[in-house]
Structure 1
Amino acid sequence: MNGGDCTLEIFRGLGDLYVTDGRFTANLDKNKPGYAAFLQKAMHVYCDREEREGEPG
């Protein structure tokens, strides 16, 4: 799988995994507490924007 194969649904789910799976959260937050939650929110914003831009005008 390369970057081109990642759908918005997969990308959004990965962001959710960062906060729902303690292993990911602990690893991402070890140097910057709250980083996993920040990434999740940023990934959701990106996906929301991409979905809106894909809608017919």
Structure 2
Amino acid sequence: MVAKLKDSLSTISSSLFTAVSLVAIVIAGMLVFINLVLVGVIELAIQIKVKVSSLI
């Protein structure tokens, strides 16, 4: 009985660990994507600003 309980507990903890690591990977990927988008938007804004200031 105790051995069965320990076995199921270890299974649950390992699956929890897997789920947590997957979520962490997904969050990290989203953060990288957001950073790339932000950098792209900032660079675009700088280019537009330079073009506008060169026209004036």
Place the TM-score, normalised by the shorter chain, in its bin: 0.3 to 0.5
Higher RCO (Cα < 8 Å, 6 or more apart): 1
TM-score where L is the length of structure 2: 0.42
Q: Larger radius of gyration, structure 1 or 2?
A: 2
| Structure showing the higher helix proportion among its residues | 2
TM-score where L is the length of structure 1: 0.42
